[in-house]
Structure 1
Amino acid sequence: MRSILHLGYIDPMIETERLILRPHRLADFEAWYAMFTDRELFRFIAAPTLSREDGWNRLLRYAGHWSLLGFGLFAVFRKSDGQFIGETGLADFHRGLGEDFDGYPEAGWIVSRSMQGQGVALEAAAAAHRWIDETLSPKRTVCLIGKENLPSFRIASHLGYKPFAERNYKGSPHVVLERVK
């Protein structure tokens, strides 16, 4: 693992057996946007259909996390060929879900449909959690998972998350989970 200063923010790069994780860059936009417009990928996630403008603004928000908070979401690439395959990490999205959720680093992960079922999301999310544990040592992290999203519940369990409440988020029932160190 290494971290360098890039354009005023921390720019960590993590390598696992199969993956490379690093903060998103402007050059990632087309591959990232293509993934985010795959509606089947988002069947369990309360994410809007993004226009190119909305997608661009979201990518800039990701850079803002790194610049202002020192942590954020990582773009995930397959090490063998450098292909963008998803994202993972921890962020602060200010979702308005209450004092027991907002203000804590919130974990998230998503990989393209072609990479699902291969353990890639868990490998990436575990690497991002090791990074934040070593770098910022948060005592508590949280995540939000749609009640139907069984694959994400399995990943969350492997990472040490436990459910502590249910909330409605953007009109859908979700479970809120925490990982306490």
Structure 2
Amino acid sequence: MDGQPLFESERLVFSTWTPDQLEDVFRLHDDEEVGRYLMGRAETREDAQKRMNEWAKHYAKFGFCKFRLTRKSDGAFIGRAGFGTHGPENTPELGYAILRSEWRKGYASEAAIAIRDWLFRETDHDFCWGFAYSANTPSIKILRSIGMEFTHTEIEPETNQELTFHKYTRDMWHG
């Protein structure tokens, strides 16, 4: 990945990552409030490096990843949003994480809409998943607000916490 801007929303720029941005990933995921809904805990620099490596592999293989988010107005890093994969079919899985200092400003919703629309505009995927820990009611609210429909719950094996799954299809998209 080369860190190039790929697309924009009203207030955000979505780009790939460069190796020198590891500290941004660590700063985002090291926050206990952010990390508890990702891995169930704050993450280490080693976790951040693993994430960046995974995102690079996803981008090379699938053409998407969890993109870097910067604010258009000042170029400040605010989080990440994009897609991982879920299941044996490698179905796109929509996800986002925003620095706690940027919560309640509408960035997560804006990013979720932008990546949803990007997926259906730029790829031939028929649907995507979105899921969150069932206790993460703000994230579930965002998934529902962008039109995703509840499908089921599962227990996450690594954390033993319940995940709430939502699905969005190309037929639902009005882009």
Instruction: Give the alignment's TM-score, normalised by structure 1.
Output: 0.84
Correspondence for 1:119 among 94, 97, 106: 106
Deviates more, 1:45-54 or 1:117-126: 45-54
Matched, 1:37 2:30: yes
- What is the CA distance between 1:127 and its match in structure 2? 1.1
Residues in 1 aligned to 2:110 and 2:40: alpha-carbon distance in whole angstroms: 23
Gap change, CA 1:138 and 1:11, over 3 Å in 2: farther
Which residue is equivalent to 1:180? 169
Report the number of matched residues. Answer: 168
1:77-114 Cα deviation digits (max 9, x unpaired): 111221111111112155xxxx6xx6311000110111
Q: Distance in 1 between matches of 2:145 and 2:47?
A: 32
**Counterpart mapping for 1:1-150 below 5 A:** 13-94=6-87, 103-150=90-137
- Provide the secondary structure at the position in 2 that maps to 1:164: strand
In the TM superposition, residue 46 of structure 1 has moved relative to its aligned partner by 3.2
Divergent runs of 4+, >6 A = none
Note the C-alpha offset of 1:44: 3.1
Structure 1 runs not aligned, ≥5 long: 1-5
**C-alpha deviations, 1:60-81, integer Å up to 9, x for none?**
1101111111111111011122
Deviation at residue 164 of structure 1 after TM alignment: 0.9
Looking at structure 1, the residues matched to 142 and 160 of structure 2 have their Cα atoms a distance apart, in angstroms, of 24
Q: Distance in 1 between matches of 2:78 and 2:26?
A: 11
Identity of aligned residues (%): 26
Question: In terms of mean alpha carbon deviation, does 85-94 or 65-74 score higher?
Answer: 85-94
After superposition, give the CA deviation of every residue in 1:100-156 in whole Å (9 maximum; x if it has no partner).
Answer: xx6311000110111111111111121111111111131111021111111111211
Alpha-carbon distance, 1:12 to partner: 5.4
Q: Residue in 2 aligned with 1:166? A: 153
Structure 2: 5+ residue stretches without partners: 171-175
Shift of 1:165: 0.9
Counterparts in 2 of 1:54 and 1:110: CA distance versus 1, 3 Å: closer
